[in-house]
């Protein structure tokens, strides 16, 4: 089969021929139709410090996918040959307290396909049947291929009650934009998204009803006045990984405001904890998706009118994968989808 492989400890990925995976009794074999390129995949392409510490070489990368089941392990029931699916890319352990309590997304033994284990940038993927998420007819393969990052957006956005609340999102990458769409869908009042990348802010305005703010040219206090907000934002969703953005968010929140953190600042960052304490701010770290509550909720929202398709800005055949990665690395794209069929 064709597979995109981190074949060398150097920048780039390489298209190679690899054996079709052999499945175990509790696995399924999925024929991949479409995949999404993630920021994590860009880190692996760039071979930065994180990738060098984390990713074994050689490795088939990729973890955002949609496809169909073509083989079932002998112990698998509840799934069918030909069934369209996506899947949870976090492979959990079964021994930790968190896992045994059903809090699978908090299992410390978690390993990721395309990061620690063989991934989805290939014509076929082996996946535990437990991780398979069947796709309803209303969700096509293109949207199915971006359910993983949409799940991050949903998990972050639904960390706190947003109904009638004013929401500040820092970071207008694809996940931040999708989180804005989710916030609007579930009933937030004002949704403001900030960034320093104007093309990403323009894309946010195309995807959903949001107030985009370029913080290099506009002050958040002026935005609050324009929106007739008497106090600060109720909820913050930090998606940028920028300490400066987090500092701005803390200043812009009401007393007792709540922040969900998905972005990861590089290295260690100085934090003015006095501002967080004296404003009684609640901080919640968000990792991945709640398995499987997030999947149920986002599929239900998509079936009920949530529309994130315009966040996909580039589509390539898999043989043109280098162009797809170039679009992602340029920092001006939304989601990039590769077609394996």
Catalytic residue among 40, 61, 170, 194: 40
Q: How many residues does the chain have?
A: 341
Measured CA to CA, the distance from residue 37 to residue 157 in angstroms comes to 22
Parallel/antiparallel/unpaired status of strands 14-17 and 312-317 = unpaired
Residue 227, preceding peptide bond in cis (omega within 30° of 0): no
Q: Is 43 a catalytic site residue? A: yes
Spatial CB neighbours of 174, under 8 Å, sequence gap ≥ 6: 146, 149, 311, 334, 335
Q: Are 112 and 90 in contact (CB under 8 A)?
A: yes
∠ Cα 247 249 253 (to 5°): 125
Q: Is 190 a catalytic site residue? A: no
Measured CA to CA, the distance from residue 127 to residue 87 in angstroms comes to 8
Strand partners, 87: 132
Catalytic residue among 43, 54, 211, 314: 43
Measured CA to CA, the distance from residue 272 to residue 99 in angstroms comes to 34
Residues belonging to the active site: 40, 43
């Amino acid at each position: 089969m064709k597979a995109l492989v981190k074949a060398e400890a150097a920048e780039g990925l390489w298209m190679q021929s690899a054996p079709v995976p052999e499945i175990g009794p509790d696995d399924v074999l999925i024929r991949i139709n479409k995949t999404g390129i993630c920021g994590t995949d860009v880190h692996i392409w760039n071979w930065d410090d994180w990738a060098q510490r984390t990713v074994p070489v050689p490795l088939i990368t990729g973890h955002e996918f949609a496809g169909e089941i073509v083989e079932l392990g002998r112990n698998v029931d509840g799934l069918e040959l030909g069934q369209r699916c996506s899947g949870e890319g976090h492979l959990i352990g079964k021994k930790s307290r968190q896992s045994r309590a059903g809090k699978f997304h908090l299992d410390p033994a978690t390993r990721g396909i395309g990061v620690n284990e063989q991934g989805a940038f290939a014509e076929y993927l082996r996946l535990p049947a437990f991780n398979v998420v069947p796709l309803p007819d209303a969700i096509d393969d293109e949207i199915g291929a971006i359910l993983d990052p949409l799940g991050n957006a949903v998990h972050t956005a639904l960390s706190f009650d947003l109904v009638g609340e004013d929401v500040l999102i820092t970071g207008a990458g694809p996940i931040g934009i999708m989180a804005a769409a989710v916030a609007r869908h579930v009933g937030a009042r004002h949704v403001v998204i900030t960034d320093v990348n104007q093309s990403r802010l323009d894309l946010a305005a195309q995807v959903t009803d949001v107030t985009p703010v370029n913080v290099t040219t506009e002050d958040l206090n002026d935005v609050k006045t324009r929106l007739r907000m008497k106090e600060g934002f109720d909820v913050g969703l930090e998606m940028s990984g920028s300490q400066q953005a987090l500092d701005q968010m803390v200043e812009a929140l009401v007393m007792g405001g709540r922040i969900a953190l998905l972005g990861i600042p590089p290295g260690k960052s100085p934090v003015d904890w006095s501002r967080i304490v004296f404003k009684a701010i609640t901080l919640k770290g968000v990792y991945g998706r709640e398995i499987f509550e997030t999947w149920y909720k986002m599929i239900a929202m998509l079936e009920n009118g949530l529309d994130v398709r315009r966040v996909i800005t580039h589509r390539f055949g898999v043989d043109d994968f280098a162009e797809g990665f170039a679009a992602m690395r340029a920092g001006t794209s939304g989601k990039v989808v590769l077609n394996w069929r």
